[in-house]
């Protein structure tokens, strides 16, 4: 499928860019610069989503995606050239580019899928989309180390540029095959206000709460995991080996769950699948709180990432299927593109506050409390989703396009 191929190419390029850019950032700014760059990512995400939604209200989705790809390519070329001049902030802005552009491209791709696929088809197809992306990401991760050693970390970034050219061709092909989905109304007065769209759709607000909670929980788990591994493996080389094994476990587990997504959704249903994820994470986090062993936190880290990349991603995308064009494009941009990055910035501020107050041990209790909220919001969202599906089945028509 074209969506699978495009997802694979996008994540192959990202897998090459991410480690190279993170390495350059740490060289220039160190770990102490991370809170600042996360805040910059959040601010940039707000500006980017505003521009994306203005374009999505006026132009076909394929045109918006091609513009996003070309814009990302142009910024990458400029920043890499500036880095070559020795400009110190180039690594900072490359990091911002890395975090923002991938969210825009992937969420736009998912918008395409949500516009084209129906509920029954999505149950099987969405896991395959995720799996194709994972194959591309794993392939890129295997290649990037060899590129950095053969050329250099900076030079390896130039290999990402041809990936964007391929993406433009695939997006154009996909848009043509999908019938050039676009908003019915070309007038942007009133309906172009994406925040107004959010206010007028309580369902989208619940989705925003769900995505925000999930991303804050995952960020806090990441922090707790890094703290635990630093204590368990004080030797740098030994710690690197363990980190590599943990990421290998994440990749393998995510791919297995992605391939099994259709079977799981068919066996459990959408609601039970979405509820089982926080329930399982909560049990492991509680076990770590009772018996703080690194193995339990490693399992939590693997589970949180593997579920986020597979079952949660596919099931969450199905929640968009009964919505209108505007909700699937501009609404989704606010919920997913924006919230993914802003939530990470919010979690960073929360951690800085806890550390400043000297109550680092309270992180686990906060995680458990947020997982409880995650369960409640999931129940509310899935109930509303079922009502939308029933209404659509009864009336035989979809919600208004814009």
- Encode pLDDT of 145-192 as tens digits: 777 777 777 888 898 899 999 999 999 998 888 787 877 654 444 444
Domains along the chain with CATH numbers = 1-181 (1.20.1250), 193-402 (1.20.1250.20)
pLDDT of residue 70: 96
User: Cα–Cα distance between 197 and 273 in angstroms, integer?
Assistant: 28
Residues 91-116 have a mean pLDDT of 90
Residue (of 165, 161, 171) closest to 20 by Cα position: 161
The pLDDT score that the predictor gives to residue 272 is 96
Q: Six-digit token pair at 385?
A: 């989703």
Q: Are 136 and 199 in contact (CB under 8 A)?
A: no
Given pLDDT bands bounded at 50, 70 and 90, which one contains residue 401?
very low
pLDDT band at 54 (very low <50, low <70, confident <90, very high): confident
CB 376 within 8 A of CB 223: no
Average pLDDT for 187-204: 67
Confidence (pLDDT) at 180: 79
The average confidence (pLDDT) of the chain is: 85
Q: How confident is the model at residue 275 (pLDDT cuts 50, 70, 90)?
A: very high
What average pLDDT does this structure show over 285-295? 91
d(CA 197, CA 201): 6
- Is the confidence at residue 120, as pLDDT, over 60? yes
CA atoms within 13 A on the CB side of 78: 9
Please compute the mean of the pLDDT values over residues 128-138 and round it to a whole number. Answer: 87
Distance CA 391, CA 71 (A): 40
- The whole-number pLDDT of residue 192 equals 46
SS3 content of the chain, % helix, strand, coil (to 5): 85, 0, 15
User: What mean pLDDT is predicted for residues 5-21?
Assistant: 88
C-alpha triplet 51, 60, 193: angle, nearest 5°: 40
- Judged by average pLDDT, the poorest of 28-32, 276-280, 366-370 is 28-32
Averaged pLDDT, 265-276: 95
CA separation (Å) from 202 to 119, 337, 374, 376? 21, 18, 17, 16
Task: List pLDDT tens digits, range 340-364.
Answer: 778 877 887 888 788 778 777 788 9
Q: What is the DSSP letter of 58?
A: T
Mean local confidence (pLDDT), 126-150: 82
pLDDT of residue 258: 92
């Amino acid at each position: 499928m074209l969506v699978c191929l495009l997802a694979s190419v996008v994540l192959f390029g990202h897998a090459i860019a991410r480690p190279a850019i993170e390495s350059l950032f740490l060289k220039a700014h160190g770990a102490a610069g991370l809170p600042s760059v996360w805040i910059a990512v959040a601010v940039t995400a707000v500006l980017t989503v505003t521009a994306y939604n203005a374009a999505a209200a006026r132009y076909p989705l394929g045109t918006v995606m091609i513009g996003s790809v070309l814009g990302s390519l142009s910024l990458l070329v400029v920043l890499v050239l500036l880095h070559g001049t020795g400009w110190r902030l180039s690594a900072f802005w490359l990091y911002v580019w890395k975090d923002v552009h991938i969210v825009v491209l992937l969420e736009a791709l998912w918008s395409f899928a949500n516009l084209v696929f129906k509920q029954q088809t999505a149950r099987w197809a969405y896991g395959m989309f995720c799996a194709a992306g994972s194959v591309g990401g794993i392939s890129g991760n295997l290649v990037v180390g060899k590129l950095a050693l053969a050329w250099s970390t900076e030079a390896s970034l130039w290999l990402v540029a041809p990936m964007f050219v391929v993406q433009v061709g695939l997006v154009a092909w996909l848009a043509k095959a999908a019938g050039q989905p676009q908003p019915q109304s070309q007038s942007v007065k009133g309906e172009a206000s994406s925040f107004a769209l959010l206010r007028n759709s309580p369902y989208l607000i619940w989705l925003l709460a769900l995505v925000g909670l999930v991303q804050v929980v995952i960020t806090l788990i990441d922090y707790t995991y890094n703290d635990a591994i630093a204590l368990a493996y004080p030797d740098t080389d030994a710690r690197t080996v363990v980190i590599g094994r943990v990421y290998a476990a994440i990749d393998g587990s995510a791919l297995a769950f992605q391939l099994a997504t259709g079977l799981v959704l068919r066996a459990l249903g959408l609601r039970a699948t979405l509820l089982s994820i926080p329930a399982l994470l909560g049990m492991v986090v509680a076990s770590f709180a009772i018996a703080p062993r690194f193995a339990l936190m490693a399992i939590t880290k693997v589970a949180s990432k593997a579920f986020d990349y597979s079952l949660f991603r596919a099931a969450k995308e199905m929640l968009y299927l009964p919505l209108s064009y505007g909700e699937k494009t501009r609404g989704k941009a606010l919920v997913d593109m924006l919230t993914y990055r802003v939530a990470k910035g919010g979690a960073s501020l929360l951690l800085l506050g806890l550390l400043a107050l000297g109550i680092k041990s309270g992180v686990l209790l906060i995680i458990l409390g947020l997982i409880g909220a995650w369960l409640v919001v999931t129940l509310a969202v899935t109930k509303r989703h079922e009502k939308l599906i029933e209404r659509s089945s009864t009336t035989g028509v979809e919600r208004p396009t814009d």
